[in-house]
Amino acid sequence: MTIWEPTEKTLSNAAQILIKGGIVAIPTETVYGLAADATQSVAVEKIFLIKKRPSINPLIIHVPDPSMVNELAATDSRFHELTTVFWPGPLTIVLKQKAKNKISELVSSGLTTLAVRQPNHPVTSEILRKVQRPIAAPSANMSGAVSPTRATHVEDSIGQHVNVIIDGGRCKVGLESTVIDLSTDVPVILRPGVITQEQIGQIIGFVNLSSHDSDLPKSPGQLAKHYAPSLPLRLNAEEAREGEAFLAFSKAGKAAIDLSPSGNLLEAARNLFFLLRHVDKPDLYSSIAVMPIPEVGIGIAINDRLQRAAQLHGQESALHNHL
């Protein structure tokens, strides 16, 4: 495995690796992705094997521009309105697949729907333009673990299993994309993210927010147990107990580690996975305590990730009282 700096030559080489069925870790504005050509089943299968990802958990397709989606799935006015405003960007859209498209059935886990996104990162955008194929790319880490926001996170987690990692720097958003399902008459947000329910509603009208997890998910991020460090999490903590690492929010100077000293939820989202990895040190701590995060706007997405991480360790949390 090699970490490559992004140059014209390395990006061209990365594109050729994907075309030939290889695996490349790519940077996006959300998190680093584990990329493979979505039209090659053998390549897509490698993603599931590397991540030890359940086969029922579908993948997101990344495209260089919205026009490619027309070849893969049924689009409508809602799709065009949302992509005009939010693409390229951290919004994944679930659509009904077109019959006999070229996407491997493994990508959608046998579903009749397809999750698609145009990422907003210059490195990956250039790779997609060079490949000119739909690319499947879940987060570049072991299934269920904390998503990677730096190239070194990928290296530490699954570096030995990929052909190359492209270093695009630290991810700007740091939290996975919002997922909205447009395969039904009433749109439903399946996974909250930095693009909020309110923002989407301003574009296409009423939008539901999914209130339950699924054993047969339509998109990534719907499994109840996910995004977890190796240490247990204790949520809605006001202070650390003995032996705990403490992630604060808006307590400038009063805690060693603060998701956002100024109380900025966008900053907290960007820092969440990075700081969870930073304190996930069993040789130093017995668990990780996290202060309450306001359940508004982007805070809904942050709390979603924290709750799933806590459930992976069987932790009970007062967060249920705030949902």
Least confident of 146-155, 216-225, 283-292: 216-225
Task: Tell the CATH superfamily of the 3-209 domain.
Answer: DHBP synthase (3.90.870.10)
Q: List the domain boundaries for the chain.
A: 3-209, 233-322
Q: Is the dihedral of CA 99, 103, 106, 107 positive or negative?
A: negative
Beta-carbon contacts of 212 under 8 Å, excluding residues fewer than 6 positions away, are: none
Between residues 274 and 313, which one has the greater pLDDT?
Answer: 274
pLDDT > 90: percent of the chain: 82
Same fold, 3-209 and 233-322: no
Beta-carbon contacts of 236 under 8 Å, excluding residues fewer than 6 positions away, are: 290, 291, 292, 317, 318, 319, 322
The pLDDT of 18-32, averaged and rounded, is 98
Chain centroid offset of residue 54 CA: 16
Separation of alpha carbons 126 and 246, rounded Å? 39
User: 178-212, pLDDT tens digit by residue?
Assistant: 999 999 999 999 999 999 999 999 999 999 998 66
User: 230-277, pLDDT tens digit by residue?
Assistant: 999 999 999 899 999 999 998 755 567 999 999 999 999 999 999 999
Q: Are 71 and 61 in contact (CB under 8 A)?
A: no
The pLDDT score that the predictor gives to residue 318 is: 38
CATH topology of domain 233-322: Rossmann fold (3.40.50)
State the pTM of this model. Answer: 0.92
**Model confidence band, residue 323 (pLDDT cutoffs 50, 70, 90):** very low
The pLDDT of 296-322, averaged and rounded, is 72
CB atoms within 10 A of CB 4: 17
